[in-house]
Amino acid sequence: MQVMPEPKDVIRSPDQGVGLPGPIRSAGHRRWPAPDRRGGWPDEARGGRMAGNSSTSPIDGVETIASHVTLTGAGFGHRPRHDFAARCAAAGAAGFDGVGLHAADPVFDDGDAEGLRRIRQALDTSGVRLMEIEFLIGWTGGTLEADHASIRRLLALAEAFSPHHVTAGTLDPGPVDIEGASRSLSELGFRFGEFGTRVAVEGFAWSGLGDPRRWREVVHRCPSPWVGFMIDTWHFRNGDGAEDGALDLLADRIAAVQLNDGRVVASDHMRHAREERHLPGEGVLRPRSLAHALRERGYDGPWAVESCDAWLQNAPVEEAASAAFDALTAAVG
């Protein structure tokens, strides 16, 4: 995980809510309707931001995302070998509908305003959308004081591009204040929901949300309809999701999905997750079965592929994108 630098020209406005910064509102800004709890887009969004962007997936009605690290050509927390424009071009050529972006990406090296301009240019040129942004941290202690710079940047991205979701979690192994974390998470949900963006919460095995019961309780206590679970194949199978039936414990609060593959490990989860999270079909975690179980339970949102291994880190970006797209659509189909 990269440490978020203080932006050089961050978009600022007075705080709205307890400790949560807010980006400048544009003229005519409106609120989005409550989201479809099955992970899909709000009905209004289906005729709005989805209009004119028909899926290029070979599977009817399926939208696909190349998550940030999948195409960076680098490891987690390392500077990308491929810049954002190259990743967008490769993703579009491979058939993806959208891409992901981490708030610490070098596209922001010259400041937030220039970064947003470059992002817009890359998206317009490639024809893909920004559908996933990451990573919200600093909320599990019950306050939002720890990571204002990152939150501001992510809110600016949400306002500019209305991505489907922003990922959230904690890397801290310390205890989580469940009530306080749910309160902070709800505030984030309502704020990102103003731009039609869900907050998808991840439960990493090495973190304070590593106990799946605590992960579920934090989200289930959260009143914002914009907050839900991120189902990442690797984390789910290495938690208590060995069987697909564990999805039933999440009720109707699945916000987003990232498919990948690998193996179940007994220790050193962070290293394995960051170095051996393979493309779907290259391990024993049954991502195709998981995708089928999710669809059976009504999930109709987009499908992301988030993988990071030695091959992806060294492959040309075009080859990585093509392999990732083929693996993802094979798992979902």
Query: Is residue 52 over pLDDT 60?
Result: no
Higher-confidence position of 107 and 53: 107
Instruction: Give me the pLDDT at residue 8, please.
Output: 34
Percent of the chain topping pLDDT 70? 81
Cα dihedral 307, 311, 316, 320 in deg (nearest 10): -40
Can you state the percent helix, strand and coil of the chain, rounding each to 5? 40, 15, 50
CB 126 within 8 A of CB 94: no
- Per DSSP, the three-state class of 259 is strand
For residue 306, give the nearest of 87, 21, 69 by alpha carbon.
69
- Please name the residue ranges forming H helices in 54-102: 84-94
Question: Cis before residue 204, ω within 30 degrees of 0?
Answer: no
Instruction: Give me the pLDDT at residue 67, please.
Output: 99
Query: Is residue 328 over pLDDT 50?
Result: yes
CA 302, CA 163: separation in Å to the nearest integer? 11
Q: What structural domains and CATH numbers belong to the chain?
A: 43-47+63-332 (3.20.20.150)
pLDDT band at 270 (very low <50, low <70, confident <90, very high): confident
DSSP 102-126: ETT-GGGTT-HHHHHHHHHHHHHHH
Q: What is the mean pLDDT of the chain?
A: 85
Rounded (5°) CA angle 224-147-195: 40
Instruction: Give me the pLDDT at residue 56, please.
Output: 56
Instruction: Give me the pLDDT at residue 148, please.
Output: 77
CA 49, CA 140: separation in Å to the nearest integer? 31
Which of 39-43, 77-81, 265-269 is the least confident region?
39-43
Amino acid present at 20: L
pLDDT tens per residue, range 219-268? 999 999 999 999 999 999 999 888 999 999 998 899 999 999 999 999 88
Rounded (5°) CA angle 51-333-193: 40
Query: Is residue 173 over pLDDT 90?
Result: no
Rounded (5°) CA angle 231-191-15: 135
pLDDT band at 143 (very low <50, low <70, confident <90, very high): low
Q: How far is CA 95 from the centre of its chain?
A: 19
For residue 209, give the nearest of 198, 220, 197 by alpha carbon.
220
State pTM to two decimals.
0.85
